Amino acid sequence: MTTPFGPSYVRAIAPYIAGKPIPEVARQFGLDEARIVKLASNENPLGMPESARRALAAAAAELGRYPDSNAFELKAALSRRYDVPSEWITLGNGSNDILELAAHAFVERGQAIVYSQYSFAVYALATQGLGARHVVTPAVKHGHDLGAMLAAIDADTRLVFVANPNNPTGTFIDGATLEAFIAKVPAHVVVVLDEAYTEYLAAGKRYDSIAWVRRYPNLLVSRTFSKAYGLAGLRVGFAIAQPALTDLLNRLRQPFNVNTLAQAAAVAALGDAAFLERSALLNAEGYRTLTAAFERLGLEYVPSDGNFVLVRVARDANDDAAGERVNLALLKQGVIVRPVGNYGLPQWLRVTMGLADENAAFVAALERAIGAQ
C-alpha cells in the first residue's frame, strides 16, 4: 500500500457543500431553468445593483492589466464610510477569504480555535485546514453561548469565531452582550466577528462594531459585498482591524486577491444606499411572508435576523430523514433550498428570502411536499 498524499488533517477535511446551481437542477430533474427558484445561498434576490453593472462595464476595458493590488479606490471609499485609516482594511476574495486568512495569520498547527455548534461551516474548514484544534461549544437555542465560549478559551487558544447574525441559524446577539464578551476575551486571542448579514439588521438592533475595533486591538470585523450589496458572484469582502492584525493578513493574502471588476463594482455598490435600503425592506417583507406560512403550516422555525430562515420540516421527533426528503420533493418542483444535515440539523431546511413570487412558489411547493409526507 502506498502512503497517501498530504497531511492527515487535510485528508480529514469534509468538503464545503454549496447551494445547487440552477442549471444543475434543471439537468437533473428535467426542468426549465427559467422556472427554477433558487433560495439556497443567501444571495440578494434583486441581483446586482444597476450602479455596479455600469461600473463593471467601464472597468471591463482595463482587464488586460492586473488589478490594483492595494485597491486604492475601494479602500479609500471604505475608509471614508467607516472612518478608519486605509491601513486598517484588508480586502478578501469574498469574506470567506478573510476568514481563512485570519486562521492562517493568527493560529498555528496544534493551537486551538473556538467556535459555536451550528455556526458557519467555514470556521470548521479553516480550523481543519491548519491542523488546529477545534473547540466547539454547544449552542443554546441554536445560537452562540458566549459564556461557554469564554470558558472554553485556554492558553492554547488563538482565535474565536463569532457570527452575528449567524448562518445557518439566523440567531443574533445584541450589541451590549457582544461587547461585554469581547472585553473579556484575553488579549492573546483574536476575535473574528463575522458580520456578513449586518446590513439586514433592523434599525433597533444595529450596533457599532467599528467603534469596538478602535478599543480592542484583538478584534477583527469581517464584512461582505455578497449579501445585501448583491455582488456574490464577484467575490469581495473586507476586514477592519488595527494594524497589528491587518499587517499580518496583508502579508499572507495573494497580491491580486480581489479582481478589477470586483473592486469597481464594490465601490459603486458601497455608494448605493437606495439599493441597500430596498434590499433590507424586501427581505423584511419576505421574512414576514415565510414565517406566517410556517405558522399556518404548524412548522417550527428559528427567529432570524439574516436574509434566510431555518425551518423544521420533520413532524416527528425522530424523523432525521425529513430534511433530505422534503428537499428532494422541493427540487422536483423546481425549488432549491439548503438542507443542513451537514450542520447536524437533519430535520431542518434553510431558506433564503426571495422576491415575492419566489417566496410564494416556495410556500406552495413546501405545502405540497409536507402534505405528501
- Interface residues with ligand PMP (CB under 6 A) are 42, 94-96, 120, 163, 167, 194, 196, 224, 226, 232, 237
CB closer to ligand PMP out of 45 and 94: 94
At its nearest, how many Å lie between ligand PMP and the CB of residue 338?
10
User: Edge-to-edge strands of the sheet including 308-312?
Assistant: 301-302, 308-312, 345-352, 338-340
At its nearest, how many Å lie between ligand PMP and the CB of residue 194?
5
CB closer to ligand PMP out of 194 and 358: 194
Do 358 and 337 form a contact (C-beta atoms < 8 A)?
Answer: no
Can you spell out the DSSP letters for 329-362? HHHHTTEE-EEEGGGTEEEEEEEE---HHHHHHH
At its nearest, how many Å lie between ligand PMP and the CB of residue 140?
18
CB closer to ligand PMP out of 167 and 257: 167
At its nearest, how many Å lie between ligand PMP and the CB of residue 275?
17
CB closer to ligand PMP out of 115 and 275: 115
Nearest CA-CA partner of 54 in 287, 275, 248: 275
CB closer to ligand PMP out of 269 and 365: 269
CB closer to ligand PMP out of 42 and 333: 42
Element (H, E) at 233: none
Distance CA 169, CA 57 (A): 37
Do 278 and 51 form a contact (C-beta atoms < 8 A)?
Answer: no
CB closer to ligand PMP out of 167 and 327: 167
Q: Which residue is nearest to ligand PMP (CB)?
A: 94
Give Cα 23 distance to the centre of its chain: 23
At its nearest, how many Å lie between ligand PMP and the CB of residue 2?
36
At its nearest, how many Å lie between ligand PMP and the CB of residue 83?
22
At its nearest, how many Å lie between ligand PMP and the CB of residue 52?
15
Residue ranges with strand state E in the chain:
37-38, 89-92, 112-116, 133-137, 157-163, 190-194, 219-224, 237-240, 301-302, 308-312, 335-336, 338-340, 345-352
Distance CA 118, CA 278 (A): 29
CB closer to ligand PMP out of 302 and 322: 302
At residue 71, what is the residue type?
Answer: A
Half-sphere exposure of 328 (CA within 13 A, CB side): 6
At its nearest, how many Å lie between ligand PMP and the CB of residue 96?
3
